[in-house]
Amino acid sequence: MTTAIELAEKELEKKYSKLVGTAASNMCAHCGWCIDSCHVYQATHDPETSPVAKAERIRRVYKKEHDWMSKIFPSWTGAKKLTEEELDKWVKLAFRDCTLCERCVVNCPMGVETPQLISAARAALTAAGKAPEILTQLADMAISKEENAELYRDFFLEQIKEIEKQLQENMKNPDARIPIENEGAKILYVPLSGAHTILPEATIFNAVGESWTMSMFEASNYGVFLGDTAKAKRITERIINEAKRLKVKEIVLTECGHAYTTLRWEAPKWFAGPLPFRVRSILEVLDEYVRDGRLKLDPSKNPEPVTYHDSCNLGRKGGLLEEPRRVIKAAARDFREMTPNRLQSLCCGGGSGLVAISEWSESRINAGKPKADQIRETGAKTVVTSCDNCRHQITELSEYYNLGIKVTSLCELTAQALVLPSVK
Amino acid sequence: MLSAGFVHFVEYELQVIALAWLGILYALKIFQLSRLPMFREKAPPKGSAGAGVLRSYSNMLIPWSMESSKKHFWRWVEFGAYHVGAGVAILNTFTSPFIPGMMTESVRWIFAILIAPAFLLGIAKFVRRIIQPEMRLVSTPDDYFAVVSVELFFFSAIMALILNTPEWRTTYFLITAAFLFYVPFSKISHYIYFFFAAIFTGSRYGYRGVRPEGRQAE
């Protein structure tokens, strides 16, 4: 019978075989430049939580098998074999103390990809059956939703009808629609579960007269957080198949950080080439509407100071840095930047699935302290963030640290500023 | 008293052997690296991969581009001074034996003055590695030995340049040879990987439109 260690080692080997893993494992000079770039370290000042310390635990296992010197004199380089005890220590290191935010990468003089090592550890833990159960359950649920689509369909349509009624009421337009299974539509919009990622977007699409249809599936992909490429692929495939079936021209993803990087950047690698349609975030679509003058916005409808939190996945990993800012400036009167922002933005502390793991909520809230301080310094009353993970985390940070802010999405802010055409 | 033949052997033949050793092992490392799959972006680009790679290579020349160098500017100065010293000490292993005409007294002094700060900073690095808990936690015997061996290399280079005696020159070249034999097995060879990783990381950030930054992060 294959042991947990053997499964973990096999998975690690698979991930290490990629050049970046090898480079990340060998090129760190232990200079310590990355130490205070990590929000977890900033909050705890625990040496074990510095990026180099976290990476080093995994690196030493890699070195035992691959580094010339480590093979002969492991104690000289600190190399060691993977043990059950070591693997258990990795659970918190990989799933709690690192949110794969990549802030350490952009602050490393060598560009060591520490998150790649942590992802490899996540994959190894998942293979060994040691990943947090809730993440596995959420990934499995997404897969079973496709397998039981027919069972789920009626309930889903009923829910959408309810949201559609609300939409018509809000827009004072009985013709406003949330189209489902609209074959040949230009856009397949993929939301998350919950009306907050459907209603504002539907308002905007209806306001500009967009040709769209809404996906039956959610954008989130817990397989990615697990480092489980097979599951991540499977979850992504549901949306790709739906888009192909409906013959849409593009997929537009809701405000969800990891869903964007997954479908926009990672999926083409998994499926060996570009997807047969364009993939964009709703942020890019909003930006286009604003720049083309298709959306009429009144910034005085959002009079209070607003700040923007860059989701690590959308910004540092995804390249969407200016699009949301242009939209906010069009939709709100007083936009204030956090310091630092964009490429150097601090993680909210809840990324990469951590927000779903309730037993670690205390350390998650603690790790969010640097972000809470940053928000407070802006004096903003509204925080816009385009990732549901960040939204949950910042809402909790606001309650815990008494920030007195409202957390909202870019679409909600935009819908609030919308000047609707009068319906005859 | 050292024989002229021995001094010559250490300065020439031994250096060539050590350099050949280093070259062969580095070639092997590079060959191993180049055989690994390089995962390329396959989605339509948002930016330029090439610009991102250039940006990765020039990162250290732009101290305001990283919070780690902007916030700790002295650290960046240290980094620069240390690597300039290392570069000059390495350059001297070629110029001293192979272009002796170039090594006038003033050039030797300039070289020594450039290496001296690196030597002093090396001591500071060693102390920091011991007293700072974060650094101590990740340091291995290889880390300490690397700093010490580079310090010996710097010190012998300075002495050989200033005093220019056969004893110091021999010491310097013996240390250099030992250093060259050890480097491929040590973390000192981290820079080999940098050239590969900068391509990977830089091209990813460039391709996705993350870098070069449209506007500086503030």
| Buried b or exposed e, range A318-336, using 16+ CB within 10 angstroms | bbbbebbbebbebbbeebe
pTM of structure = 0.94
Closest Cα in chain A to B146: A29
Last residue of one domain, picked from the residues A101, A130, A159? A130
The verdict on residue B147 lying in a domain is yes
Q: Cα–Cα distance between A105 and A118 in angstroms, integer?
A: 12
ipTM: 0.94
Are B193 and A23 in contact (CB < 8 Å)?
yes
Are A322 and B215 in contact (CB < 8 Å)?
yes
A267 and A346 belong to one structural domain: no
Q: Cα–Cα distance between B41 and B202 in angstroms, integer?
A: 12
Q: For the domain that residue B106 is a member of, what is the CATH number? A: 1.20.950.20
Contacts of residue A105 in chain B, CB cutoff 8 Å? 201
The verdict on residue B55 lying in a domain is no
Q: What is the dihedral of CA A62, A64, A70, A74, to 10 degrees?
A: 130
A321 and A335 belong to one structural domain: yes
A368 and A243 belong to one structural domain: no
A194 and A280 belong to one structural domain: yes
Contacts of residue A329 in chain B, CB cutoff 8 Å? none
Closest Cα in chain A to B78: A31
Sorted by sequence, the CB contacts under 8 Å of residue B76 that are 6+ apart come out as B60, B63, B69
Q: Which of B30, B57, B142, B191 to mutate to test the interface with A (most CBs of A within 10 A)?
A: B142
Domain count, chain A: 3
DSSP assignment letter at A422: P
Could you tell me if B187 and A29 are in contact, meaning their C-beta atoms sit under 8 angstroms apart?
yes
Q: Cα–Cα distance between B62 and B84 in angstroms, integer?
A: 16
Could you tell me if A346 and A40 are in contact, meaning their C-beta atoms sit under 8 angstroms apart?
no
User: In sequence order, what DSSP letters do the residues of chain B get, joined into one string?
Assistant: ---HHHHHHHHTHHHHHHHHHHHHHHHHHHHHHHTS--PPP-SPPSS-HHHHHHHHHHGGG-GGGSHHHHTTHHHHHHHHHHHHHHHHHHHHHHHHHH-GGG--HHHHHHHHHHHHHHHHHHHHHHHHHHH-HHHHHH--HHHHHHHHHHHHHHHHHHHHHHH--HHHHHHHHHHHHHHHHHGGGSGGGHHHHHHHHHHHHHHHHHHTT-SS-SS---
Could you tell me if B200 and A19 are in contact, meaning their C-beta atoms sit under 8 angstroms apart?
yes
Q: Cα–Cα distance between A300 and A336 in angstroms, integer?
A: 16
Are A77 and B187 in contact (CB < 8 Å)?
yes
Per-residue pLDDT, B30: 87
Last residue of one domain, picked from the residues A232, A257, A289? A289
pLDDT in tens, chain A (424 residues): 679 999 999 999 888 777 666 777 778 999 999 999 999 999 999 999 999 999 999 999 999 988 889 999 999 999 999 999 999 999 999 999 999 999 999 999 999 999 999 999 999 999 999 999 999 999 999 999 888 888 888 899 999 999 999 999 999 999 999 999 999 999 999 999 889 999 999 999 999 999 999 999 999 999 999 999 999 999 999 999 999 999 999 999 999 999 999 999 999 999 988 899 999 999 999 999 999 999 999 999 999 999 999 999 999 999 999 999 999 999 999 999 999 999 999 999 999 999 999 999 999 999 999 999 999 999 999 999 999 999 999 999 999 999 999 999 999 999 999 998 776 5
Closest Cα in chain B to A313: B210
pLDDT averaged over every residue in chain B: 92
Domain, as residue range, for A106: 4-130
Query: Helix, strand or coil for residue A58?
Result: helix
A275 and A204 belong to one structural domain: yes
